[in-house]
């Protein structure tokens, strides 16, 4: 007998296995009101990073750079930063000098509108644009390990800074489209992003707590992948999990979802490169 404090949903595992009925425990957290010092009735920001939903052993991996496996990708990106490639004989450093200074805060604002490409793009796409237009080199495939290394290195320069989504009209339109996609039920399981990451956030699914889907740690090392991956890879995992056709890497839909998720996380500190289960 399932009581009112729990909710059961039928989820397909999407791996050729039988479907399983999973019971969600009551929420681990909820919005609370501030105390007298913050003003009567004021709402406390109830947003939480995915870090707060992890087991302590996984949190330790992220806190200690000597244990965080994602730092291997950062190291690779640092080496590539000064590596001359392409017909123009340039490296990233040729234009941007020291990343510690020139890239500080850059990752905090993406996805953003590109005046050169006339559309909203994410950080991987911006790196590829520079690679093609400035270096005269062949762009990497999205989610390529070399590209993830560069993205990790660039994002690392903004670690601890607050997420600051772009607010120009074109990016806002992409954010609005992403919000519609976030709320849209889809797939054979007929679930939306909101169903899990808002309505059921903090509840248990297959032994893990469902996070609120704030993308403050990307690119990140996921234990399930045994590798670093970008936000679009995680979004595609979710779409496959609800038995929906995943959008292509770099598609307008994927970038729009990214843009909205970053807007939801506005003001939250970046953790790149993070670790997740």
Question: Could you tell me if residue 167 is inside a domain?
Answer: yes
pLDDT higher for 255 or 207?
A: 255
Instruction: Give CA–CA dist 217/68, Å, rounded.
Output: 13
pLDDT above 90 (res 235): yes
Average pLDDT over residues 46-55: 96
pLDDT band at 31 (very low <50, low <70, confident <90, very high): very low
Among 3-17, 58-72, 153-167, 185-199, name the one with the lowest average pLDDT.
Answer: 3-17
Average pLDDT over residues 238-256: 97
Mean pLDDT score of the chain, rounded to an integer? Answer: 87
Domain of residue 121 covers: 51-277
Enter the tokens of residue 71.
Answer: 């730092």
Question: Could you tell me if residue 21 is inside a domain?
Answer: no
The answer to whether the beta carbons of residues 164 and 109 sit under 8 Å apart is: yes
Instruction: Give CA–CA dist 31/265, Å, rounded.
Output: 16
Average pLDDT over residues 161-177: 97
Instruction: Give CA–CA dist 140/148, Å, rounded.
Output: 10
pLDDT higher for 140 or 42?
A: 140
Q: What is the pTM of this model?
A: 0.84
Instruction: Give CA–CA dist 41/33, Å, rounded.
Output: 6
What domain count does the chain have?
1
Question: Could you tell me if residue 117 is inside a domain?
Answer: yes
Question: 60-113 pLDDT, tens per residue?
Answer: 999 999 999 999 999 999 999 999 999 999 999 999 999 999 999 999 999 999
Pairing of strands 112-114, 7-11: unpaired
Question: 183-229 pLDDT, tens per residue?
Answer: 999 999 999 999 999 999 999 887 789 999 999 999 999 999 999 99
The answer to whether the beta carbons of residues 92 and 80 sit under 8 Å apart is: yes
Question: Could you tell me if residue 15 is inside a domain?
Answer: no
Enter the tokens of residue 263.
Answer: 């807007």
**Residue 32: per-residue pLDDT:** 33
Report DSSP state, residue 48.
Answer: -
pLDDT above 60 (res 49): yes
Question: Could you tell me if residue 121 is inside a domain?
Answer: yes
Contacts for 100-107: CB closer than 8 Å, 24+ residues apart: 100/157, 103/154, 103/157, 103/158, 104/157, 104/158, 104/161, 105/157, 105/158, 105/161, 105/164, 106/154, 106/157, 106/158, 107/154, 107/155, 107/157, 107/158, 107/270, 107/272
Question: Could you tell me if residue 202 is inside a domain?
Answer: yes
Specify the CATH number for the domain of residue 192. Answer: 1.10.760.10
Average pLDDT over residues 125-143: 98
Percent of the chain topping pLDDT 70? 84
Question: Could you tell me if residue 122 is inside a domain?
Answer: yes
Q: Per-residue b/e over 15-43, b at no fewer than 16 CB within 10 Å? A: eeeeeeebebeeeeeeeeeeeeeeeeeee
Q: Which residues are part of the catalytic machinery?
A: 238
Instruction: Give CA–CA dist 126/92, Å, rounded.
Output: 12
Question: Could you tell me if residue 228 is inside a domain?
Answer: yes
Instruction: Give CA–CA dist 49/47, Å, rounded.
Output: 7
The DSSP bridge partners found for residue 23 are: 8
């Amino acid at each position: 007998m399932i009581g009112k404090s729990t909710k059961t949903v039928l989820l397909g595992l999407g791996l050729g296995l039988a479907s399983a009925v999973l019971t969600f425990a009551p929420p681990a957290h909820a919005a609370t009101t501030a105390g007298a010092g913050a003003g009567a009735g004021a709402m406390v920001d109830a947003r939480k990073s995915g870090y707060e939903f992890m087991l302590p052993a996984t949190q330790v991996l992220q806190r200690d750079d000597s244990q965080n496996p994602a730092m291997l990708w950062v190291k690779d990106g640092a080496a590539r930063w000064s590596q001359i490639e392409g017909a123009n004989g340039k490296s990233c450093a040729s234009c941007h000098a020291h990343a510690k200074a020139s890239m500080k805060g850059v990752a905090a604002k993406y996805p953003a509108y590109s005046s050169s490409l006339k559309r909203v793009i994410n950080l991987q796409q911006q790196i590829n644009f520079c690679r093609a237009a400035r270096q005269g080199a062949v762009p990497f495939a999205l989610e390529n390990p070399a590209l993830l290394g560069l993205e990790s290195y660039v994002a690392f320069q903004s670690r601890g800074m607050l997420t600051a989504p772009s607010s120009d009209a074109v990016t806002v339109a992409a954010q609005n489209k992403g919000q519609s996609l976030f709320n849209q039920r889809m797939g054979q399981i007929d679930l939306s992003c909101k169903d899990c990451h808002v309505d059921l956030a903090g509840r248990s699914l297959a032994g893990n707590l469902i996070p609120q889907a704030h993308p403050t740690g990307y690119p990140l090392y996921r234990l399930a992948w045994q590798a670093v991956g970008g936000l679009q890879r995680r979004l595609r995992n979710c779409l496959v999990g609800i038995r929906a056709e995943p959008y292509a890497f770099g598609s307008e839909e994927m970038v729009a979802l990214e843009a909205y998720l970053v807007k939801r996380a506005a003001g939250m500190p970046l953790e790149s490169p993070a670790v997740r289960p």
